Amino acid sequence: MLCCDSAWLQMGSYFGSSLCAVDLNSDGLSDLLVGAPMFSEIRDEGQVTVYLSRGNGVLEEQLVLNGDNAYNAHFGESMASLGDMDDDGFPDVAIGAPKEDDYIGAVYIYHGYTGGIIPQYSMRIPGKQLSLRLQMFGQSISGGVDMDGNGYPDVTIGAFMSNSVVLLRSRPVITMDVSIFLPASIDITAPQCHDGLQHVNCLNITACFSFKGKHVPGLIGLNYNLTADVTKKERSNPIRVYFVSSGEAMGQISEQLQLSYMQEKCKQYLAYVKVSPFCLLFPIPNNYLSVLYFKDKPLPAEINQEL
């Protein structure tokens, strides 16, 4: 018997009124989500307790989820395993909060990983974003079936007070691989380039991109930003490495690229280095370049990778 967590102890939390068995960490042992939709701190925010199976019938509490902990949300009224929506090898789940937003409702998406469930939801789907007519959106959820045959499981969500069911289709997930190649060192005592009349140090940078994924398009448009001296820029300090475009020095350049499936494409850049006593005292770290990249909108995933 599961006991001793706050939802179980609170009278009237309706702990156990919804259940979802799913192997969150893909270890072959089924884990368990238990809803307590009437759990209250102020009024019926609701919560879900996540238990991981340790084998031999032993379930260990990992954590408690509560969405946005919204007033009278009834988070955990419904739950469903969605299959692996983001194609990372771990199942994902949807949790309904059908009374959130004054009985319009919302659904939260959480992802499994090796440690169980990622505590922060990846997506909140508010009913009012889909239609102003919806009421009690998230009272019932069914997932794990690929309705449109695109290789990714989709999800249906009921909103019974508005006589509606919503089908949300998953979009393909694209994984980007980015490599940046730099010279191992530069000789700052012998400037190699000119910036106007000034002798400056410079270095060649090669940035290579490729993408992969299941059932993804053969050709994508990629927008990316190449940023120099990231750590300094984040702290609003003067940057020491810069690019030159149209005669102007800039710490970041934005480019577009057409990429074919599984075919690496590389671009060359020249970066300039400001030599100063400060620069000599504080060596430029290896991760001074980063690439922020995203496919043509409206793909929601945005990845920021530091190299």
Using CB under 5 A as the binding rule, whether residue 146 contacts Ca ion is answered as yes
* Cβ distance to Ca ion smaller for residue 22 or 104: 22
Mask: binding to Ca ion, 204-223, rule CB under 5 A, as x and -?
Answer: --------------------
Residue of 5, 6, 17, 23 that binds Ca ion (CB under 5 A): 23
CA separation for the pair 153, 170 (Å, rounded): 6
Residue of 41, 148, 234, 296 that binds Ca ion (CB under 5 A): 148
Using CB under 5 A as the binding rule, whether residue 61 contacts Ca ion is answered as no
At its nearest, how many Å lie between Ca ion and the CB of residue 155?
Answer: 9
A 10 A CB-CB count for 266 gives 12
Instruction: Identify the CA nearest to 90 among candidates 48, 31, 42.
Output: 31
Listing DSSP states for 257-293 in one string gives EEEETT--EEEEEEEEE---HHHHHSPPPTT-EEEEE
Mask: binding to Ca ion, 78-107, rule CB under 5 A, as x and -?
Answer: ------x-x-x-x-x---------------
CA Rg value for the chain: 25
Residue of 39, 108, 121, 152 that binds Ca ion (CB under 5 A): 152
- The SS3 call for residue 7 is helix
CA separation for the pair 257, 268 (Å, rounded): 13
Choices 138-146, 185-193, 215-223, 227-235 (CB under 5 A): range interacting with Ca ion: 138-146
Q: Report residue 163 as tokens.
A: 């006589």
Residues lying near Ca ion in the complex (CB under 5 A): 23, 25, 27, 29, 31, 84, 86, 88, 90, 92, 146, 148, 150, 152, 154
